[in-house]
Structures are given as C-alpha cells and as structure tokens.
Structure 1
Amino acid sequence: MNRVNQVVKMHLRNKFTWFLIPWAILGVNFLVNAVIATSLNDGEVINTGALASIFVYTLITGTLTLKETFPFAIGLSIRRKDYFFGTALAVLLVNVISGTAITILSVIEQATDGWNVNLHLFEIKFLGDLPFIGILGINIILLITLYFIGFTISSLHRRFGAVSMYIFFPAVLLLGTITSYTMTHFGLWVEVAHWIANNYMDLFWWMIPMVGVCMVISYGLLRRAAV
C-alpha cells in the first residue's frame, strides 16, 4: 500500500499537467466568450462547445501518462501492479475534483442565467432536468472513461510498440468509415440521434463496465510491457 501511495504522490506532484493546463484552457475559453457575450449585450444566447476541451484533454492525458511516468516508477523499483493501482487512484482523485468543479460551475451558470450575459459554457442542456448528484456522476464517469481509453491505447503501444498503432488506428478508421457509410446509406443518422437523446442515461451507465474492461486490458498489457 505504501508503494501505491508513492505512485499517487508522484502523479499529483505534476499539478501542471493534471490541473493547470486543462483549467487554463477552460478559463481562457470562458473569458473570451464572456467578453464576446458582454460586447454583444443584445440578449442573444451563446452556447459554446468549449467544455469539450477538458474531456478531450483527459483522453490525451491518458495516452501520455505511461510515457512520462512508467519508466521512472519502474526505475524506483515500484512494481507494475503498484504503479497501475496508484495511477488508477490518482485518476479517480483528480477527476472527482474536476467533475465536481464542472458540475458546480454548471449549477452557478444555470442559476445566474448564463453569468447574466446568456453565456452557456459549463451547462449541458439535455442534462438540465437531472439533479446535482446525477450530473456530477455523469461528469466523473465520462472523465474517467476517456482517461482509461487513452491509457489503454498507450498500454497497447507500450506492450507491442509502434506496429500496434499502425494496426489499431487504421482498424478504427476503417470501422468508422464502414459505420458512417452504412448510416448514411440507410439514412439512420436521425434515428440514431433520437435514440441517443432518449437513452443517454443508459449509455452513461454502460461507461462503468467499459472502464472496468479498459482497466483489465491495460493492466494485462502493462504486466508484460517493456520499460
């Protein structure tokens, strides 16, 4: 357990990567959009997609963590098992904090009618009917899921090298292309969009076992990965 705590502390020392960069990006987006909304001052509602930046950043962070910390941790004689569970615990702590902050800001945004300038950056409209705890849970689950998707991709690269990426990404691109063509050919986009709008809570619940699957896969890969 002591080694796990060492890994957690190792990660949390890097506040620049875990906290400062994503919130600086969001802060700049907020300030720019607030200036625009204030200058317009005509009652027009401004909906931005800037909140997506922190979720995309979390995915990217998941892909970079191994490269930046795994060789260092192994060099300190930390077992791969301890590294993995320490990393998972750090990810949980960081994303609980980030998810809570996002949710609180969304509540403030809703209560002030878009910061009194009709600016909507943190509030996700289709989640507006959910209670605070529901929105909080969704934000945390989504952040953790995206992180471990990136972490699993990075673990695949660490285990099998660059050749695995030459196989993985073309396969994903091919699958995406086939899916997109099929959806367009049969005119399924609108129907799928309506289904997602009516069943989005089920999709979020399925993210929990998805995290479990990603963790199992990445742990299995790291056990045999080269340093």
Structure 2
Amino acid sequence: MPRLLSVVRLQLVNRQTYLWMPLIILGGAVALSILVFQLIPGTGIKYAGGAAAAPLWYFGIVGGQSLSLTFPFALALSVTRREFHLGTLLTATLASIMLAGIYCAIALIEMATDGWGVNGYVSTPGLGANELGIAFITYFTVSMTFFAIGYAFAAILKRWGGLVLTVVITLLILLLTGAIILLVRQGAWPAVAAWFGGLGYGGGSLLALAVVAMMWVGSYMLVRRLTP
C-alpha cells in the first residue's frame, strides 16, 4: 500500500491537472450557464447539463496524461508496472470521488437557491439534490469511464504508436455506428432503448463500472509490456 500511495503522490505532483483545471472548467461552465439563464425568457425550469459536463470529458485527457507523462518517471523511481497501474487507478478513484462530491454540492446549492434564483439548473435532470446517492454514483462512474478511456488510448499509443491508435479508434466508431444502424433496421432499437432506460441512472452506472473494470484489466495487459 505505501508503494501505491507513492504513485498517487507522484501523479499529484502537478495538482493543476487533477484539481485546479477541473475546478476552473466547472466553475466557468456554471458561471456561463447562469448568465445564459438570465437571457432566457419565462419562468420555467431551465437546464444546462451539457456545459457543466465539461470537466467529466476533461478526465479523458487526464487519463491519457497520467500514463504518457508520468510512466517514465515512475519506472525511473523503481516503481513496478503493476504498482504504477494500481496507483494510477487509486488516483483516478480519488479524483473521481472529489469531482462527484463537487457536483453533488452544486445540486444542493441549486436546491437551496431555487436554481441560482432564476430556476436554472446545471445538474442533470433526475440527478438533483433529491437523489444525491444516485447522483454521486453516476458522476463518479462517468469520471472513471472517461479516465479509463484516456488511459487505455495512451497505453495503445505508447505500445504501438499513433497509427494503431487511429485504426483502433476508427474501428470502434465504425463498429458502434454499424451496431446502431443494424438495430434500427431490425426494429430492435426501441426495445434496446427501453432496456437501458429501465436500468435508470443507478443500474446504468453499475453496468458502466463493470465495463470500466474490464478496461483497466485490459490496459494492464498493455502497461506490463511498456517501455519508458
């Protein structure tokens, strides 16, 4: 465990990446959303969840940097690849917990202020202060998912280079698009959409966490063979 904590400290040497950048992005998105709310006429409920999700997308970049920028230094400090991988996973978990907690705090503020005084909300519908437990799990899961994607792509890039990474991303997009087209043409899309909708945020998060766990296992298969 102390070795893993050493990796966490190494990852957090640059606190801007894990702390200040997400906070600045989130703060800017919330401030911009509140200004936009002021311009929207009417007294109905207004949502701007997309803008506030920017820090979650940013975690994909953080995941990539956690490997590409830190891995060589970790090996130079005699950290094993297994320790680096698990320590980075611990770092991602802690950072995702922090970000999920901040989103829940924003939901509480919105409830206390009736949507910043203008009935406007950056919280995702259904993930407000009345569902803090589900909201926390969901935001945590999304953060971990983007981090894992960035980390996996960085592992592919470092293992085989940019050409292979581009091919992998292209194939994934084609497979996903092809699967959607097939479902639509077979008339199965409504049933699939209903199944995912039935899972709800909680069930969907648990399913996504299972996928994230498999991604971390797959990434380790690459990391264990990486060279600085």
Question: Does the alignment reach a TM-score above 0.5?
Answer: yes
Alpha-carbon displacement from aligned partner over 1:184-205 (angstroms, at most 9, x marks no partner):
4345555544433222332211
Q: Which residue of 2 aligns with 1:157?
A: 157
Aligned to 2:69, the other structure's residue is in SS state helix
CA drift of 1:163 comes to 3.5
Q: 1 CA distance for matches of 2:31 and 2:39?
A: 12
Alpha-carbon displacement from aligned partner over 1:38-85 (angstroms, at most 9, x marks no partner):
355642432111122121111222122211111121122221122112
8 Å Cα contact 2:148-2:215 kept in structure 1: yes
Task: Please say if 1:174 is aligned against 2:174.
Answer: yes
Q: Which residue of 2 aligns with 1:86?
A: 87
CA drift of 1:113 comes to 2.1
8 Å Cα contact 1:41-1:117 kept in structure 2: no
Alpha-carbon displacement from aligned partner over 1:164-196 (angstroms, at most 9, x marks no partner):
213311211221231232244345555544433
Q: Which residue of 2 aligns with 1:12?
A: 12
Q: Which residue of 1 aligns with 2:71?
A: 70
Instruction: Judge which range, 179-188 or 98-107, deviates more.
Output: 179-188
Task: Please say if 1:23 is aligned against 2:52.
Answer: no
Gapped regions of structure 1 (runs ≥ 5):
none
Q: 2 CA distance for matches of 1:26 and 1:184?
A: 36
CA drift of 1:159 comes to 1.9
Q: 1:96 to 1:198 in 2, by over 3 A?
A: same
8 Å Cα contact 1:59-1:149 kept in structure 2: yes
Q: 1 CA distance for matches of 2:217 and 2:130?
A: 31
Q: 1:104 to 1:160 in 2, by over 3 A?
A: same
CA drift of 1:119 comes to 1.4
CA drift of 1:146 comes to 2.1
Alpha-carbon displacement from aligned partner over 1:94-130 (angstroms, at most 9, x marks no partner):
1111111111211221342211111111x22133596
Aligned residues: 226
Task: Please say if 1:32 is aligned against 2:36.
Answer: no
Q: 1:32 to 1:112 in 2, by over 3 A?
A: same
Aligned to 1:181, the other structure's residue is in SS state helix
Aligned to 2:43, the other structure's residue is in SS state coil
Q: Which residue of 2 aligns with 1:114?
A: 115
Task: Please say if 1:125 is aligned against 2:120.
Answer: no
Taking every aligned residue pair, what percent have the same amino acid on both sides? Answer: 27
Q: 2 CA distance for matches of 1:52 and 1:91?
A: 17
Q: 1 CA distance for matches of 2:43 and 2:95?
A: 36
Q: 2 CA distance for matches of 1:17 and 1:94?
A: 10
Q: Which residue of 2 aligns with 1:223?
A: 224
Q: 2 CA distance for matches of 1:111 and 1:226?
A: 52
RMSD: 2.2
